[in-house]
Structure 1
Amino acid sequence: MTICCLNPDCSNPLNPDGEKFCLTCSAPLVVLLRNRFRVIRVLSDEGGFGRTYLAEDIDKLNELCVIKQLAPKAEGSWALKKAIELFQKEAKRLQELGEHPQIPTLLAYFEQDSYLYLVQQFIDGQNLLRELDTRRRGKTNQSPYTEGEIQEILLNLLPVLKFVHEHGVIHRDIKPQNIMLRKSDQRLNLIDFGSSKQFTVRVQSKTGTSIGSHGYSPIEQIRDGVAYPASDLFSLGATCFHLLTGISPFQLWTEHGYAWVNCWQQYLKSPISDQFTQILNKLLKKDLHQRYQSADDVLRDLGYKSPVPVKINSLPVLNKKGVKLQIAIVAGAGILLLVMGEFWYKQFDSFGNNNPSNLSQPNPDTIGIDLSSKGFIPDYSLAVTIRGYTNTVLSVLVTPDGKTIASNNQNTIKLWSLLTGQEVATFDGHTKQVNAIAISNDGKILVSGGDDNVVKLWTMANGKELATLGGHSQPIRAVAISPDSKIVADGSDDATIKLWDLGSRREIVTLMGHTSSVHAIAFSPDGNILASAGVDKTVKLWNVSTGQIITTLTGHEDTINSLAFSPDGKTLATASGDKTVKLWNLEKKQLIRTLTGHTAGVTSVAFNPDEMTLTTASSDRTIKLWNFLTGRTIRTLTSHTGAVESIGLNRDASTLVSGSEDKTLRIWRRTK
C-alpha cells in the first residue's frame, strides 16, 4: 500500500506505506483525510489550484470516491475569490442534487491544513462519447445509435433534468462527455455540475459570462451568458443528434454557426420517423421561445399523456437489449477545477487492479475532456490563412460584434470576415505605413496611427474618414480608445502621448514622461488609468482625468512592446523584447511574477475574457497560452514562418487571430 502526498506541487506524490514525510518534497504525509478518506493517487493536476484524487472511504468498506482539493497559490485576486466561491457553490449544488440516484452524491466538504476538500461519489462507467467512438469503430455505414436507442436515452435523462430544473438549477453543459453509463445498473448519470448555475430572476434578466460548449449550447447561452431550462433541452437535443449521426455539433458550429440546426436531417445516415423528427426539430430550435420549455413537454411528445413523476429510485432504466452498450471499467472519476472559476468532472477509465505501478498514470484518452469552452485549457487549430499582404501585419483585432477582423496592410486598413477570411473593406488614407489600430467598444469608430505622424478616425460602417489628428513630430506606434468611447490616446516615437476628445476631435492633453519611443498604451477597464510603455523599458500609469503620473514600474531589460489590463483591472501584463512577460499588481504597484518560455522577444499580450488565461505572441514565431495565476504554459501554437507581431481574440475567446512578419494573417478556431 502507498501513501499519496497532498502537496499540490509534489512531482512524485506516491510514497511507501509507513513514511511520515514525502520522500520527494518532504511535506508531512496524511494517512487519512478527516480520519476517513485514504488517498490512492492523483487523477488530475489543476495547475495552481490543487489536485483531484482517487480515494477510498474507510467508513464505507473502502468504497471508491473522488476528492477535489482547492489549494490556490494566488492571494487576494479576483480569480482566487471566484474560485473559492464557486467551489463552495458546487458543493452546495451537489448536496441539493446528489440525493438523486443518477447524479453523483456529495460525501463531504471540509477544510484541512489550509486546503478545501470536496469529496464525491465515484461513478464506475463510461461516458457516451467514448461509447460512441467504440460503436463507430465497429460500424461504417450504419447509424451509431438507432432512433429507438436515442428515445430510450431521452426517457432515461429527461426525468433527471426535470429533477434538476425543479431544484432551480440549470446544468449548462450537457453533452456526451458529461453523461456516464453506470456499469452496475445501466442507468445514465448526469455529471459536471461545476458549470451549473442557480436559475433566478437575475439570471433571466441580465447577461453574464458565456459558459458551455460550442455546438451543444444554445445561442442565448453562448452569446448572452443566460440560461434557462430550455437551454439545457437544446443541449440535450444536440447530444442526441451527435449520438444519432456520429457528427460533432462543435464541428458543424465551427463551419456554419447555428445554421446547422435548420438542416440537421441531411446528416442522417438512416431515416427516422416523422414524429421523432418533429421532437428533435423542436429541441434544436435556435429561437428560445420556439423550443421545448420543460422536460415534461418533451416526455409528453414522446408518448406520455401526463408528466412523468420524479421519484427517487423509480426512474426508467435503459433497456439492455435495445441499447447494447458495451461497458469498460473506468478507474476513477475526477472533478476538474476550472481556473476561470467554473468546475466540472473529469472521468478516467484506466484504474489498474490496485497495482501501485498502475496508480500513477491516468489514461491519456480520457484526459482531454472538453475544457476549452470554459477557458481553463483552451486549444486552437489553424482554420484560415489570409495571404496577399505587402508587409508585416503589425496590428490585428476582432470587432466587438465578433464578425470582422481589422488589420493594417502597409498604408491601409483591411477588414476581413472572421467566418470565411474573405476581404470585406479597405480603408485608404494614410500616406505611410499604418502601425496600430483600435476600435471603440460600440464598434462604430476605428482609430489608426502610422509612420505619417497622424492619427485617423474612421466610420466602421462605411469606411469614411472622419478626421485626421496631427501634432506629433514622429511616427505613431500605439493607439487606444477609452471604454466609454470618449477619449482617443496615441503613443509616438517622439516620447509623448496625446489624449483627444473623440467627439470634438480636439487635443485634451499631451503626456510627457517617457524618455524614448512609446510602443504600447492601454486604458484600464474603468477608463480611469492609462498605461504606457516603450523603448525606455518602463511602464507608466497615468491618471486620465488629471494627466498626472501615478507611478512608474521598472523591471524589464528591453523594450516593452505590448501591455494589457486584466478584465477586473487589478493586474497589468507587459510583454518585452527581453523574452519575458511580467504581471503587475496594480493595487500594490508591484511585480507579481515573470513568465518565461519564449526564445525571442515577446511582441504582443492579451488577457482572455475568462481572466485566467493569457495569450502571447513572439518573434520566436510562436503563440503561447498561459495559466495566468500559475505562470505555466498551457499550449504553444506554431504555424507562422516569421515573427508573430500581433494577436487578437473575440469576446468569448473561441477565435484567435494573429498577424506576422511572414505577411500573413491567420485565424485559429478553438478545437475543444
Structure 2
Amino acid sequence: MICCLNPHCTQPNHATQAAVCPTCGTPLERRLRGRYRPLKLIGRGGFGRTYFALDTDRLNSRCVIKQFAPQTQGTKSFLKAVQLFEQEAVRLHELGEHPQIPTLLAYFEQNKYLYLVQQMIQGRTLYQEIAAQAAYSEGSLRQLLEDLLPVLHFIHQHGVIHRDITPSNIIRRKADQKPVLIDFGVAKQFSEAIRYEPGTRIGTEGYAPIEQLRSGQAYPSSDLYSLGASCLHLLTGRKPEDLYSPQEGRWLWQEYLQKQGRTIHPGLAAVLNCMTKDLVSERYQSAQDVLDDLQRLPKLEGAVPGWVSSQASPSLFTGLDRPPLSGPGQRAGVAVPITSLPTAAEMAGPLSGPVSGPASGQPASGPQPPPPNVRGTGYPHAHPPGSRSPQPSGPPKPSGSPQPSGSSKLDHGSATVLGGGWQLIQTLVGHQSWVTAVAFAPQQPLLVSGSLDDSLRIWNWQSGDLLHSLRGHARGVNDVAIDQRGQLMVSCGDDATVKIWDVGSGTLRHTLKGHLRDVTAIALGSTNCLASASEDGTLKLWNPSQGSLTKTLPGSAGMLKTVALVSGDQRLVSGGLDNTVRLWDAQTAQATRVFAGHTNTVNQVAVSPDGRLMASASKDRTVRLWDLSTGDLRHTLQGHTQEVNTVAFFPNGQRLVSGSSDGTLRLWQSQTGTLEATLPAHINPVHQVAIQCSGGVIASASADKTIKLWQWQG
C-alpha cells in the first residue's frame, strides 16, 4: 500500500505497487528522504495534506507527515516560504522538548514541496469528546486548565503564539490521558510569502479574539482568550458563538448554565470571564497569572484519567486535519475528519512493534497517581446484595478456600499477615486505568470490576481467571452490582447510562437511559428494584428485569455521588456534594430525614444488613455512623489522612471497612466505633471495597489499576 503525494490528487490512497498513481499519473514516492513510507492520506487543509507513514529507519514506527504545498508565485516567494518553514521547524524542535507538544522528527524540502515529520499522538480531540459525551464538570474543566496552562506558559516563554487553540487542536493522549496541544500551524507563519485562499482566517471564528480576526495580530493573551472560549464550549456543550450576544457585547454562558440547573464556583467563573475579555488590556497577560488565580481557589472536584472511551472513534493524530465544524464557526480550508488507519495487512509489511514512548498509545506502566484535584476519587458502590446469615463475632476463614493459583493473571502478595489477621492473597491485574468499582457474586466465586478504561471484567476470584471482558459503556464505569441470584449484573458510567448484563454469558440485556449527566452510583434491591444516582441531581428507580423506569426522585440541591437501598426496598439513602445524607420514601418520592454533619462531599453510603445503621464516607476524611430510625449520630470514625471514598458493612453488621485516598483500608467495630485494623492496601487511592458473602474476603479497587483480595487468617 502506498499513497500519492500529489496535493491535487483526488484519490491518493491506493493498494497498489505501481510506479505511478492510477488516479492522476504522478510518479509514486516509495520513501520520502529514503526512509518515510507514506501509506495513507488522513487529512487535508488549505495549505497541504497530512499523511500517516512509517519510519523505516526506526523499526517501522508510526509517524505523521505534514506536506505543505503553498500556492506561491515566483521563485522569490517560494524561497521566502522555505526560509520561514525552516525557522518554524527550529521553533517546533525546541517546543517538542515539552511532553505535551508533539516531537518534531524531521523537516525537509523535496520535489518543491515542504515536509514536516512529527510524532504521532493517539487519542481523541476535545472536540470529539464534547460531541460524543456530556459537557465537562467543573472539576474536569479546572483540571484541564491546570494541565494546559503550563504548556502555554512554555510556548510563550519560547516566543511562540499558537493562534488557533480550539477543542479540535487539543488531543487527550490515550496513553496517559494528558491533553496535548497540536497543530502549531506552520502555514500561519507564511503570511509574508503565501496568498491565503478565499475565506481562510488566522484562527477559528468563535475561539479567536477580535484582534486576530481583524488585523491578524496576536499576543500571549490571545491564546488565553482562545483557551477560555474553548473552556466555555466544553463546560456548556455549546459553541462560543452560541454563548455570546453581539447586541449586548457580553458572554451569556453563565445564564446558559443556570438554565441547565448548574452553577460553578464564582472564583472559577471570574477566571473564565477574565480570560475572555474583548479588550487585550483587560485580559490576563500571562498563563502564569491564570494559574496563580486558579491555585488561590478552594480545591475543586477534578477530572479523571481514562475519561476518553478506549473504543470510540479511531485514533487521531497531530496534523492539518480536524473534525469539520458545522454552522457559522466552520473554517474554510478544512476538509474531512480523519479516516481509519490502515490495517497491518494493508501496510504491505508488518510493524516491528509498538512505538515507544508516550505516543505509542500503550497503557502507562506502573501505578498512576491521581492529579491534585480529582473528580470522584471515591466512586459510590451499593453493597452487593446476597444471603447474609449471622456470622460469629470475628470474620471466619472460609472453609475450603483454595490457595492462590499460579495463573499469569495473578500477582501474589506477600504472605505476611497484615492488620490483625488480614492477609493479601491475590492481586488481579488487567485494567488499563483506575479500577473504580468492584462487587462479589453472592453464590459463586465470581467478582466483577469496573474501570475508567470503560470496561467491565468478570473474574473467578478464587483462581484468578478472567471469564469475560465486557465493553458497552462509552465512558468510564463508576459502579457495579450483582443481584442476589447471581444472574444479573448492573453497571453505570460517565456516559449517563445504566446497563444490565447477563452474568453467565456476559451479554447486554438492557441499556437504561434517562439521566442527563454521569450516573455515579447504583443499588440493587431484593424485590426487582434498581436505584441509580447521577450528577444531574436526581435518583431514579427502575425495574431491572423489564429495563423500564418506574420513578424519578428529585434528589438534592447538588450532584449525587451515592445511593443505597434499605432492607425491603421501600426506602433509600443518598449523598453527594451538599455534604448531607437523605433518607427517602420510595413510594412518595419524599425525603423523610436529612443527616447533616459532614463538612465536605459524601462519597458513599452503606446500610447495615438489618437496616438499623447507616455509614457515610466523606471527603472530610471521616466515616459517620447513624441510627436510621432516629437520625442520631452514633460515632464519627477518624483516622484516615485523606478523603474516605468507600465504606461497606460486613454481613453480620458488627464490622465495617472503609477505603481512602491515603491508600489504606481500615476495619471498625460498628457498635463502638473502635478501629480494629489498618491495612496498607495500595499506594494509590482506594476507590471501592466489597465484602464476600461469607465475610472472610475483602476486595479493594484502586487507582493503581488493580483489585486486591484480602482474606481473614485469624
Same fold (TM over 0.5): no
- TM-score normalised to structure 1 length: 0.45
Larger relative contact order (CA 8 Å, sep ≥ 6): 2
